[in-house]
Structure 1
Amino acid sequence: MMADPSHGRASFWTQANALSRKNLTFQKRNMRTNIRLICFPIFLCVLFVALQILVDNQLDKPNFRCGCSGNVCGIEYSTLTQATFCPILSPPEWPPLLQIPAPEFRAVRSNSLTSTDLPKKARRKTGSCPATSFITGNNQSFAEILTSNIFTSFAINSSDLISSLASNVFGTATYPQSNNYIEPAFLSNLPIYSVQRRCISNSAFSVVINRSSIKTELQVQCVQGFYLWRNSSSEMNDEMYRGYMKGNSELEINEIVGAYDFLNSDGNNFNATIWYNATYKKYTPGLPIELVRVPRSVNLVSNAYLQFLLGSGTKMLFEFVKEMPKPETKLRLDLSSVLGTLFFTWVILQLFPVVLTSLVYEKQQKLRVMMKMHGLGDGPYWMISYAYFLAISLLYMFFFVIFGSVIGLKFFTLNDYSIQFVFYFLYINLQISLAFLLAAMFSNTKTASVISYICVFATGLLGGFLFQPFLQDKSFPRGWIIILELYPGFSLYRGLYEFGQYSFTGNYMGTHGMQWGDLSDSMNGMREVLIIILVEWIVVLLVAYYADQVASSGGGKSPLFFLQNFRKKPLPSFKRPSLQRQGSKAFVDMDKPDVCQEREKVEQLLLESSTSHSIICDNLKKVYPGKDGNPEKFAVRGLSLALPRGECFGMLGPNGAGKTSFISMMIGLTKPTSGTAFVQGLDIQTHMDAIYTSMGVCPQHDLLWETLTGREHLLFYGRLKNLKGSVLTQAVEESLKGLNLFYGGVADKYAGKYSGGMKRRLSVAISLIGDPKVVYMDEPSTGLDPASRNNLWNVVKQAKQDRAIILTTHSMEEAEALCDRLGIFVGGSLQCIGNPKELKARYGGSYIFTMTTSPEHEEEVENMVHCLSPSANKIYQISGTQKFELPKQEANIAEVFQAVEKAKSRFTVFAWGLADTTLEDVFIKVARGAQAVNILS
């Protein structure tokens, strides 16, 4: 058997052109959805602009400008907040300070800190509670010697106040700021602490500080510096943590100043680790990290070691700390950079449900299968569908970025546009690939839509309230950050977060945002995000294509289909010897000579090198495995059938007989359990994709796009069948006219507004367009009025001239009108086969005699019938109406008429009739007989 080459197969690009035209038309019909989709980011951008105007009005108030007195402005007229905005060409010098807890918070013995070497709680009441620090190391005596050198005796020189302040150890309970243009400790009402080895009575005094026209009088109080030994750094850390401000009651607050771990330090080696309270270090995204008072601690312990080596007179003088000069600045706060990370995550992610629901819709409505059955290959489908969604997503992101830039959102304007393009391009591709992968897991559009939108909003919220705090916590392991970014939503959030941080800082500092050179910064996570997204895009796309190939069209391919090229190719299926078929007659009743004859015909055709038969079914079987303790279900039991060109074969059978299972195997929806079939010489087990190019299908349920017109449906499927130009236009018009869909504007009406009958006619037109050589029609006339049904029958009669048609129907009238041969299918097997006349002659060798009288004459009627035909069989009786089956060899029509006339003279006959056997009678007789056999077996 050889495939018929007369029907040209549409090329890859022809199929791609057909699908792209359909998608563009479909997109035009969804303009309202597109407008709603675009309005969301536009609304957010406009909202950010409105909020930005309100924020800028607030930031333009005096609290956020350099302080002034009259027309003169400067740092000397400013508060701590205002000073950061003043021009400072020569920043003031401030004495270095230690961070000392307030007296009421200094560590004492309590329920949380039970060490006996800590001061008693009563010392808080007297105001003499010391500032406690911890020390540890490998050499306790050496550590104690060093700490004894840290605090020297107090000495103040009024003539050189700054130097004398630097020579002594001062501290403050005032929290540090993000800059040091004005030392907050010298402008607060809190005292300055002089940390000494021992405090004497009346040790409080005042000092006047004059810096950059800022003159202030400080109250200095003595506080004892107190060092306690701990056996290990972990023990120190535990006590420092338990002393942290973790409760509302002041009695629970026992702050430790700091700690020193001298490790392996000795007379020849100095190695120390300084521990301090990091809770003073506050971090605001986009702003400089607030200072911590650590440098003075480093200086003190370094001086202690120098004095140990070189004597008490040796010292590194730490005179002052000062900021860099600065011009006048203005507070800039860009809301799009602060809030854009969360909201722009939602903006981009909302494309995901759109793509996913579109793919699931085609799957749910079986439109993907319908396109494939009419010749659309996987390659063109994937290329065009992917390119279609990519183009929509890129246009969406392009207008989003352009609109945000035009209205002035710093999130877009400050960051390099090329970095933004690469990031958005990569993520959109990953998002589309992920939608293709997840589409295989959903079969209902509403379920997919609900779950995807839940994921969209959950991703944004988890990113803002879970993932972002991890990013800002510098102690959180970077490896875990990368693991979290493997979730695509978090990688998107991280990229937008980096854009927001750089645009905020650039706007605040008056510089640019993220540039390509910034990707080399170790604190910049954009590079790792781009790598993760790129790798995931490739991996997810490959997995999605693999999953689609395995699960496509219901039957799909073998999970190891990609290894087939490495296997030794078997002989074509139709050349295998028939002896290899085992159990070929297991389900054949030898009393059915027509079925046996058909099987023998199939076996003979399989041995021929070529044949004119379009369809050959060879012992086709379908068995569904048992579930929940139920036995296996035999849907099709060894069907053998041969259909030549030009023949319409009708399949009749009760519901559940196996007709749909047979059609599903023939059109590739399910795989046969055993056996096979050849369509145009090609095996349905191995060459289904090639078979689709010469096949037309009218499914039982109409598979149509509701927003495409009838004409557009036919144009699309005509292109898939390689029709072009005027040939395509003519074929579409002829199809529309032939099925009465051309006039009255019906052809250009949306299919969603068609009536049920119009949809059936359109489905028939789709199955016949493009001159397919094999057509399957599943109950094509369902729902049609008599006139439309007769018109459809004429179309089918004309269409079957050069093609094989398999038609299922429950209408005996339709079967007689259209079918050249009929097969009655019961219990999964073919019970009989032949043309309608043969079947009626074979299974209907009797007349049906019907007579209606009064009930008391029923016995007389029965006697009369038995006189006419001794073998007559009563098949119906109710209220005086009786129906008998009379064998034709016994009954004489003239004698029947004479007997009826005589009966009328004896009693009243209300009605009577004599009819030949109909196809419906044959169907009922064969079906009942087969079902009775199945029950007994």
Structure 2
Amino acid sequence: MTITKEASSTANPSPASFLTQANALFIKNLTYQKRNIWSSVRLIAIPLYLCLVLATIQALFDIHVNNSAENRCGCQCMDTTKDGKCERESCGLEYSSQNQAIFCAFPNPPPLLPLLHIPPSVTSSSIDSCTRTGSCHVTILFTGNNPSQLGAKVRCVQGLTPWRNNSTEVNDEIFKGYLQGNQEENINYEIVAAYDLLDTDKKNFNVTILYNSTHKENLVDRRVKFVRVPRLVNLVSNAYLEYLKGKGTKILFDFVKEMPKKETRLRMDMASLIGPIFFTWVILLLFPVILTSLMYEKQQRLRIIMKMHGLGDGPYWMISYAYFLVISTLYIISLMIFGSAIVAAYLYVFGTGLLGLFLFQFLIEELSFPSFSLYRGLYEFSQYAFQRNLNGMDGMKWKDFSGTAMDKVFSIIIVEWFLALLATYYINRVSSSTKERPFPFLRNPFKKIPSPQRISVEQQGSEVSVEMEKLDVAQEREKVEQLMMLEPCTTSHAIVCDNLMKVYPGKDGNPPKMAIRGLSLAVSSGECFGMLGPNGAGKTSFINSMTGLVKPTSGTALVQGVDICKDMDRVYTSMGVCPQHDLLWETLTGREHLLFYGRLKNLKGSDLNLAVEESLKSVNLFCGGVADKPAGKYSGGMKRRLSVAISLIGNPKVVYMDEPSTGLDPASRMNLWTVIKRAKKHTAIILTTHSMEEAEFLCDRLGILVDGRLQCIGNPKELKGRFGGSYVLTMTTSSEHEKEVERLVQDFSPNAKKIYHIAGTQKFEIPKEEIRISEVFQAVEKAKSSFEVFAWGLADTTLEDVFIKVARTAEAFNVFS
């Protein structure tokens, strides 16, 4: 931005460093967060609200389930007071129902004999046989790597010890033997258990015990199961000792005893049980907030406008990642505080939670499926907390991670984090059209790339027949070629475009669209170059190519000696852009916008504040508190003025302005033109406009672009002199006198051409060499005596006339060719 002489002399023209860019973005993010503080408060309040809901559910469950009489040891009132209240209560097994007994205290469990439980025979015939003979056949199966290995013996009954090939056969027979019984050579027997001796030998004792654990949930069957397992271990241990030391060697086994237990109550933690349904909801609730913020900058093209003003990828992603990481951390800490304060677990999005619980549970429980690592982690937390709370213990602690699946879950999450960073980096590089893909092996081998050489030849061939009409364009091309032969760093021109071409590939059967056809242009520092042209002429494609939005198909351009096709990031450090559509943050003020972009231009301290103040004053956004109003409350004209101020802040070496005065009133437009004219003293400006008045006021040179080609180039006076060697006569009469007006013009100028005709108003182009102005006045005054003339005028050629003439001639030639 053009500021006072003193401020300009103290400004630092060097590019902003990494830390300076990061600091600018960080301050902008903090300011943006301040503007949206209540949205953040509401976001953080959601976990508190949901935790309160969960706490209410848990409290209701405690009242009606956990603390109900059926879910604790049975009690009986022994003494009552006069008013009927219980004074002394006694609790124990003798007062309990079968459901209440499991909660009663068991301080002195009785010793149980170390017997091996033999399952009863299944068929009635086998029961009769056992009654007559006094004994039944039972079977203990064996398998392992060596069929000659030891076998355990069961006393008091006839025991069979058949060998099986593998543990699968053993498992099938145990299940079959328990349910159906086996009849082999009319001998009834039951399978008690099985031993898979694996690689057991004299140096290794490795055994797996298999038995049928089917039982009903009652104390008797549970005790049977409790007795069976230790006895089976004792049998195989004694057998192994005999195998090593000989007969008579054994381990004494006197009794089995349960552990004492104190009185308990049902402690079902519903918060832990339904935690996965709600917990991820709260965690992932922050994800769309972060995504919306990033996509907002991408969709509103704020990301690219920051890049054009010098913000590099490194500072952007570092600050964005750190910024959202801090927000996420504070969010989770707040969630943990809320959850701990009400003794409740956390919540998850309802639909996703149910989907993960009921449809994908088999994937959640399988560690080899990494996409569900978050759900698996939540699943582990909830299951661990539920089981521990049920036993009256605390939940998972850090020391418990190594003993659960959480260590693997965290490993998967870390790998996913690293892969996500790589994917983000790759996608960001690919989406930037001016950069090469970071991983060449990921390129699409079937993608067709248009041949720049072939297109260039066609383009040059089409210019041969019109080269004589565009000598000024040919001279500009020669000038560019001479400049390109010099060292780029020594050229005095800020912008040099060398045969720049942009071709958009055809789609849906349409041919490729050539938006720019070999444009060569040189713009020196301190010059404002205006680019005129009808809609679709290629002006926007040219600006997009120069600012890095699209990559040229062929040719190149140097900005301050830096190639836009090779090092666009360096170009951005010395560039300012005023896009056609205002790219602003709705919640940031005009001052905050300029402070942010000023920091990106390496302005600091008093220089920054002075530059911002002068910028706001120059575009009439300083007075009346306008500078400190959010940009979302600005009118269209105010936003446009702010966009121009942003493009000029920090004295950039090159500025691109796409229709900067669109939507401004005449007074604001004239003021803005004055600002731009002052700013171009040390800056090269390329400006596109549809206003001929703006082009004449601001531009040192003009170029008219039609169908992607420069048709002419020069200052406004040169163009009017070259293409405007005629006067324009305008006359308005009634419709019946139109023929008489044509005859009048033909009398004093036989070569006059009608260029406009509507409802009695006609315009004629009259060669200057055929008439004198006095003759025209005399002819019109004489005609007034014959018919009524409502209005008439004689004017010299305007820039608008030149534009229309050049555009129509070029379009006619294109249609003809």
Separation in structure 2 between the aligned mates of residue 60 and residue 362 of structure 1, nearest angstrom: 54
Shift, 1:93, TM fit: 3.8
Alpha-carbon deviation of 1:897?
1.1
Offset of residue 805 of structure 1: 0.9
**Counterpart for residue 345 of structure 1:** 280
Once residues 793 and 225 of structure 2 are traced to their aligned partners in structure 1, the CA distance between those partners, rounded to angstroms, is 111
- For 1:59-98, list aligned pairs within 5 A: 59-69=66-76, 70=78, 71-94=89-112
1:808-861 deviation digits (Å, cap 9, x = unpaired): 011112111211111100111100011111111111111122233344433332
2:580 and 2:538 map into 1 onto residues whose CA distance is 14
Cα distance, 1:77 vs. partner? 3.2
- What is aligned with 1:391? 326
The AA in structure 2 aligned to 1:715 is L
Identify which of 357, 360, 377 aligns with 1:464: 357
How far apart, CA to CA, are the structure 1 residues paired with 2:310 and 2:612?
A: 17
Structure 2 CA distance for partners of 1:743 and 1:299, relative to 1, 3 Å: closer
CA 1:663–1:100 in structure 2 vs 1: closer, same or farther (change >3 Å)?
Answer: farther
1:888 partnered with 2:768? yes
Give the Å deviation of 1:653. Answer: 0.6
Are 1:595 and 2:477 counterparts? no
Q: Post-superposition shift, 1:886?
A: 0.9
Q: Pairwise mapping of residues 467-506 of structure 1 onto structure 2 (< 5 A)?
A: 468=361, 481-484=366-369, 486-487=370-371, 490-506=372-388
* Greater displacement, 826-835 / 349-358: 349-358
TM-score scaled by structure 2?
0.81
Look up the equivalent residue of 1:919 and give its one-letter code.
L
Q: CA RMSD in A?
A: 4.4
Query: Where do residues 81-480 of structure 1 align in structure 2 (5 Å cutoff)?
Result: 81-94=99-112, 260=194, 276-277=211-212, 280=215, 294-295=228-229, 298=232, 321-409=256-344, 459-466=352-359, 468=361
Mapped pair 1:731 → 2:608: no
Change in Cα spacing, 1:773 to 1:133, as seen in structure 2 (3 Å) is farther
Counterpart in 1 of 2:653? 773
Q: What secondary structure does 1:332 align onto?
A: coil
Count of residues in Structure 1 that have an aligned counterpart in Structure 2 = 753
Distance 1:902 1:390, change over 3 A: same
Change over 3 Å in CA distance of 1:802–1:300 after alignment to 2: closer
* 1:138–1:730 distance in 2 versus 1, CA, 3 Å: closer
Quickly say closer, same or farther: Cα 1:491–1:233, change in 2 above 3 A.
Answer: closer
Q: Deviations over 1:197-247 (max 9, x none)?
A: 9xxxxxxxxxxxxxxxxxxxxxxxxxxx999999987577668879999xx
1:700 paired residue number: 580
Residue 210 of structure 1: aligned partner: none
**Are positions 1:528 and 2:408 aligned together?**
yes
How far apart in 2 are the matches of 1:138 and 1:264? 7
Select which of 514, 520, 540 maps to 1:660.
540
Deviation per CA, 1:710-765: give whole Å up to 9, x if none: 11111111111111122212211221121111222221111112111111111111
The Cα shift of 1:482 comes to 2.4
Percent identical residues: 62
Secondary structure at the aligned position of 1:483 is classed as coil
The CA distance in 2 between the partners of 1:839 and 1:823, in whole Å, is 9
Q: How does 1:47-62 map to 2 (within 5 A)?
A: 47-57=53-63, 58-62=65-69
Closer, same or farther in 2 for the Cα pair 1:303/1:923, shift >3 Å?
closer
- 2:642 is equivalent to residue 757 of structure 1: no
Give the TM-score, by structure 1 length. 0.71
**Residue pair 1:134, 1:229 contacting (<8 A) in 2 also:** no
* C-alpha displacement of 1:98: 8.5
CA–CA distance in structure 2, aligned partners of residues 380 and 556 of structure 1? 17
Which letter does structure 2 place at the counterpart of 1:36? R
What is the aligned partner in structure 2 of residue 559 from structure 1? Answer: 438
Match of 2:609, SS?
helix
Whole-angstrom distance in 2 between the partners of 1:542 and 1:704: 29
Query: Residue 616 of structure 1 aligns to a residue in which SS?
Result: strand
Structure 2 CA distance for partners of 1:463 and 1:760, relative to 1, 3 Å: same
Question: Offset of 1:300 from its aligned partner?
Answer: 11
Alpha-carbon distance between aligned partners in 1 of 2:224 and 2:604, rounded to the nearest angstrom: 72
How far apart, in 2, do the equivalents of 1:471 and 1:811 lie? 64
- After TM superposition, give the deviation of residue 466 of structure 1 in Å: 4.9
Quote how far apart the aligned CAs of 1:374 are: 0.5
Unmatched 5+ residue regions in structure 1?
109-118, 124-129, 154-196, 198-224, 246-255, 283-287, 413-452, 473-480, 564-580
Q: Is the counterpart of residue 34 in structure 1 residue 46 in structure 2?
A: no
Q: CA deviation at 1:555?
A: 2.8
Match of 1:715 among 595, 601, 614: 595
Contact 1:131 1:257 in 2 (8 A): no
Q: 1:509 & 1:866 partners in 2: Cα distance?
A: 111
Change (3 A) 1:325 1:585: same
What amino acid sits opposite 2:402 in the alignment? Answer: S
**Retained in 2: the 8 A contact 1:584–1:619?**
no
| Cα distance in 1 between the residues matched to 2:585 and 2:808 | 41
Deviation string for 1:161-193 (max 9, x for gaps)?
A: xxxxxxxxxxxxxxxxxxxxxxxxxxxxxxxxx
1:414-453 deviations in Å (ceiling 9; x for gaps) = xxxxxxxxxxxxxxxxxxxxxxxxxxxxxxxxxxxxxxx9
Q: Given that residues 732 and 769 in structure 1 are in contact (C-alpha distance below 8 angstroms), is that contact kept between their aligned partners in structure 2?
A: yes
- 1:475-507 CA-to-partner distances (Å, cap 9, x unmatched) read xxxxxx2222x21xx322333333334444444
> Is residue 2:791 matched to residue 1:877?
no
- Flag the 1:15–1:879 CA change in 2: closer, same or farther, 3 A: closer
In the alignment, the residues of structure 1 paired with residue 742 and residue 555 of structure 2 have an alpha-carbon distance, to the nearest angstrom, of 52
Q: Which residue of 2 aligns with 1:851?
A: 731
Name whichever of 16-25 and 501-510 sits farther off.
Answer: 501-510
Question: 1:373·1:697 contact (CA, 8 Å) conserved in 2?
Answer: yes
Deviation at 1:927, TM superposition (A): 0.9
Aligned twin of 1:835: 715
1:408 match: secondary structure: coil
2: CA distance between counterparts of 1:304 and 1:535?
Answer: 49
The alignment partner of 1:646 has SS state of: coil
Secondary structure at the counterpart of residue 805 of structure 2: helix
- Cα shift at 1:465: 2.8
1: CA distance, partners of 2:730 / 2:177: 107
1:518 equivalent in alignment to 2:400: yes
2:484 pairs, out of 590, 593, 606, with: 606
One-letter code aligned to 2:367: I
User: Any conservation in 2 of the 1:136–1:232 contact (CA below 8 Å)?
Assistant: no
| Structure 1 residues 92 and 802: CA distance shift in structure 2, 3 A | same
Contact 1:107–1:243 at 8 Å: present in 2 too?
no
The 5 Å alignment of 1:668-679 reads 668-679=548-559
Post-superposition offset of 1:317: 9.7
Deviates more, 1:695-704 or 1:902-911: 902-911
